[in-house]
């Protein structure tokens, strides 16, 4: 369906102060608890807390980290193995 062109809404625009999440990676928890269903043979279940390890990337993975304003002053260690792999795919 064609859509009329319209200006970008101000609340969806990034200002000069915008930074990517890699700027606060050290604040991420090691994981979190989530309630999961554990079933009994009868079909009933009970909810138990299960630990979910945080397996998200810890370093900065922005391919353009040297020049992109979202990575300006980014303190996270650069995941160069991942960055170089992504550059090869370009
Ligand atoms: Zn970064």
Res 58 pLDDT > 90: no
* Distance in Å from the first CA to the final CA of the chain: 31
CA 44 to centroid of ligand 1, rounded, Å: 47
Interval 59-68 mean pLDDT: 91
Q: Could you state, in order of their start, the residue ranges of all structural domains in the chain?
A: 16-89
CA 11 to centroid of ligand 1, rounded, Å: 23
pLDDT of residue 26: 65
Does the pTM surpass 0.85? The reply is: no
Interval 56-79 mean pLDDT: 89
Length of the chain equals 90
- Give exposure, 7-17, as e/b (b: 16+ Cβ within 10 Å): eeeeeeeeeee
CA 15 to centroid of ligand 1, rounded, Å: 17
């Amino acid at each position: 369906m064609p859509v009329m062109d319209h200006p970008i809404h101000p609340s969806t625009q990034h200002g000069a102060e915008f930074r990517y999440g890699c700027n606060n990676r050290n604040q991420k928890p090691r994981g979190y608890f989530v309630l999961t269903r554990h079933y009994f043979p009868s079909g009933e279940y009970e909810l138990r807390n299960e630990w979910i390890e945080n397996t998200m990337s810890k370093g900065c993975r922005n391919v353009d980290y040297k020049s992109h304003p979202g990575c300006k002053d980014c303190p996270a260690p650069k995941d160069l193995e991942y960055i170089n792999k992504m550059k090869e795919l370009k």
